[in-house]
Chain A
Amino acid sequence: MSDVAAYEPPPSKPLGLGARLHCWWTIFRIALEERLAYRGDFALGTLMRFLPVITQIFLWWAIFESVSGGSDSGRMVGYSFHDMIAYYLLSMLGRAFSSMPGLASNVSKQIRDGEIKKYLIQPIDMIGFLWLARAAHKVAYYTVSTLPFALLFFLCRGYFTQGWPDPSVLLAFVISLLLAFALGFLMDLCIGLIGFWFLEVSSLLFVYMLLNFFLSGHMFPLDLLPSPWNEIVQFLPFKYLAYFPAAVFLGKVPADQLWFEIGLEFAWLIVLIVAARVLYARGLRRYSGYGG
């Protein structure tokens, strides 16, 4: 009868912090390895990414030549040629944090193919898992692209005519970049989770991509938009993905509004977290309701 203890179910208390951290680390590491496996593709891909910068510099250069004042002193809604390039480079940095290639389509595909069951069976949270995997991919990306990015910014340092901003602005800039990652992730995730209701989200995804591309300020500073579009876009969350970090760095956000704007971004973060959680919970209920 001394075996009785062995028949007791294992204690069902949640995993200890150590075990949990270890689990997270494992997920993170595997995702990182996956990224580094194909080095040729990866290196070439990173390098190629910088080619459009050259085109953009020349395009804006040519555009500013015909603005009154020419490329030296001509201005477009407060942006000089140099500002425009600095803006472009910074918004690219923002995109490096906020873009989530393939996330939404992957999530909806997993829902469609029933692969999502694995998150129901294994003791991991899907959103947390995806978040870690994305973070790892991003870290892998930054590891490889920090050098080219640094080189690029060094070569283009001439375009940053105002030098480094104040420490507080710099802090706000870093926060806005991290938030850009979180918001980009959550927005993509929400689109993917809509796959619980519509089997085919590719059209929705495309609309989202379009809006994202034009309204995030990736192509041009949102200030260029004529009224009332400019005002409308300022109320949407897309601007945090590219425009906002760049605008913070370039001092386009007035100092008295800076922290208010960051607070607003936090509010969006919370709204999106709640939205993702609700969509996931509702979606799962609907999914298991159908019997998978």
Chain B
Amino acid sequence: MTEGTTNPEANRPTNRLSYLRVFATFARNSLVRDMMFRANFVIEAVSSIAWSIMNVGFYWIIFEHTNSIGAQTGWGRSEFFIFMGTTWIINSLVQAFFMPNSEEFSELIRTGGLDFALLKPIDTQFLISLRKVNWSSLINLVVGAVLIGLSIYDLSHRAESPWRFEPFILILYPFYICCGVAVLYSLMICLAATSVWLGRNQTLYDFWFYITNFSRYPMEIYSRGWGLPLYFIFTFVIPVLVVVNVPARLLAQPLTPRADWEWPLAGFTIVATIASLLFSRWVFNRSLLAYRSASS
């Protein structure tokens, strides 16, 4: 006890490594916690699989009555299932890493619990965004991957213009998945931050669901009539349309040869991702400024 205070700057590991280590501890603690409630974990896994199967069933019925979503768009059953699988993968990543934390962020603002996060000598947005990992949500990632696998198998065995493997997809697909997750995360943290101003934000999940609802279908469906303004708003202002569309298109190849706007859109997605992240950072900092901490 006599050593007193050591210089906190001494012996510090490099910054990035330390953040990684904190995240690893978060992930580990969450897993320990999830394993304490194993029954819950299993229930969540089973129910999300059930949900996915129901969804596949629904579109199976739709495709019994039609052969593609939109004329000449190329989104037939298997292509659309690749699209859906991509949606699930992205959503499950967001739900596993960011959803519980964003929900808790609004709760922390409401109850004044944010105080503790502000006290820690670590970036507050990092701490808030990754505090918990909801491991059971990753089940959907597996389900999505299986669906994509089956669909690709189906597509590459059809007689007419079969699916062909392009090596770059191994890098680009994961990369654009990450971009999509980043865009959705930015949106989510912005929504959560609004609870500083709105007082309560328990319907955060609803908001998020409703806005991301736009991203769940091929963007071509909006490119007509009065859908065009939406098409542009949700591509260039709140870029939720590129989230699933870009990686899903790259993988599913609905049109052969690729449409001439596909690569520019992919380029734009990178810009949109960076802009979203910066914007969410700005909103987050503004919300901290406004947070006045529920006192007593």
Show the binding face of A for B, using Cβ within 8 Å: 38, 40-41, 44-45, 48-49, 51-52, 54-55, 58-59, 61-67, 70, 76-77, 200, 202-203, 206-207, 210, 213-214, 219-220, 224-226
Partner of B43, one of A54, A76, A206, A225: A206
Q: Is the CB of B199 within 8 A of A40?
A: yes
Question: Assuming the A-B contacts A54-B230, A67-B66, A224-B61, are A210 and B73 also in contact, with contact meaning beta carbons closer than 8 angstroms in the complex?
Answer: no
Mask: chain B, 43-75; 1 = CB below 8 Å from A; 0 = not:
100110011001001100110111111110100
Within 204-225 of B, Cβ neighbours of A (below 8 Å) are at 206-207, 210-211, 213-214, 216-218, 220-222, 224
A207-B203 Cα distance, complex, nearest whole Å = 22
A60 to chain B, nearest CB (A): 9
* Interface status of B201 (Cβ within 8 A of chain A): yes
Q: Which 5 A-B pairs have the closest CB atoms?
A: A40-B198, A62-B70, A62-B221, A65-B71, A203-B43
Q: Which of chain B's residues has its CB closest to A55's CB?
A: B213
Report the minimum CB–CB distance from B240 to chain A (whole Å): 11
Q: List 13 A-B contacts (CB under 8 A).
A: A44-B198, A48-B206, A49-B206, A51-B210, A65-B70, A65-B71, A66-B67, A66-B68, A67-B66, A76-B65, A203-B46, A214-B57, A220-B58
Query: Which residues from A are CB-within-8-Å of B263?
Result: none
Q: How many A-B residue pairs have CB under 8 A?
A: 105
The reply to whether B66 and A41 contact each other, CB–CB distance below 8 Å, is: no
Contacts of B62 in A (CB 8 A): 63, 220, 224
CB within 8 A of A67: which of B65, B218, B220? B65
Chain B residues contacting A59 (CB-CB under 8 Å) are 69, 217, 221
Q: Which of B50, B67, B200, B207 contacts A210 (CB 8 A)?
A: B50
Query: With a CB–CB cut-off of 8 A, which chain A residues contact B216?
Result: 55
Task: Flag whether B153 is at the interface (Cβ < 8 A).
Answer: no
Contact B222 A58 (CB under 8 A): yes
B1 at the interface (CB under 8 A from A): no
Query: Contact: B65 with A61, CB < 8 Å?
Result: no
Closest partner residue, chain B, to A49 (CB atom):
B210
Complex CA gap A213/B57 in Å reads 13
Q: Are B58 and A55 in contact (CB under 8 A)?
A: no
Contact yes or no, A210 B203, CB < 8 A: no
- Chain B residues within an 8 Å CB radius of A77: 65
How distant is B30 from chain A, measured CB to nearest CB, in Å? 19
Judging by beta carbons under 8 Å apart, are A214 and B199 in contact?
A: no
Residues of B near A61 (CB, < 8 A) are: 221, 224
Q: Is A58 in contact with B206, judged by CB distance below 8 angstroms? A: no
Residues of A contacting B51 with CB < 8 Å?
210
Provide the B173-214 mask, 1 if CB < 8 A to any CB of A, else 0. Answer: 000000000000000000000000111111100110011011
Give every chain A residue within 8 A of B54 (Cβ-Cβ).
210, 213-214
A58: chain B residues at CB < 8 Å are: 217, 221-222, 224, 227
Quick one: given A41-B201, A58-B222, A66-B71, are A200 and B39 in contact (CB under 8 Å)?
A: yes
Q: How far is the CA of A66 from the CA of B57 in the complex (A)?
A: 19
Write the nearest CB–CB distance from A113 to chain B, whole angstroms. Answer: 17
Separation of A76 and B211 alpha carbons in the complex (Å): 29
Bound-complex Cα distance A203 to B73 (A): 39
Q: Across the two chains, which residue of chain A brings its CB closest to B58? A: A219
CB of A213, distance to nearest CB on chain B (Å): 8
Q: Is the pair B221, A51 in contact by a Cβ cutoff of 8 Å?
A: no
Closest chain-A Cβ to B8's Cβ sits at a distance in Å of 41
Complex Cα distance, B224 from A70, in Å, reads 15
Q: How far is the CA of A49 from the CA of B220 in the complex (A)?
A: 23
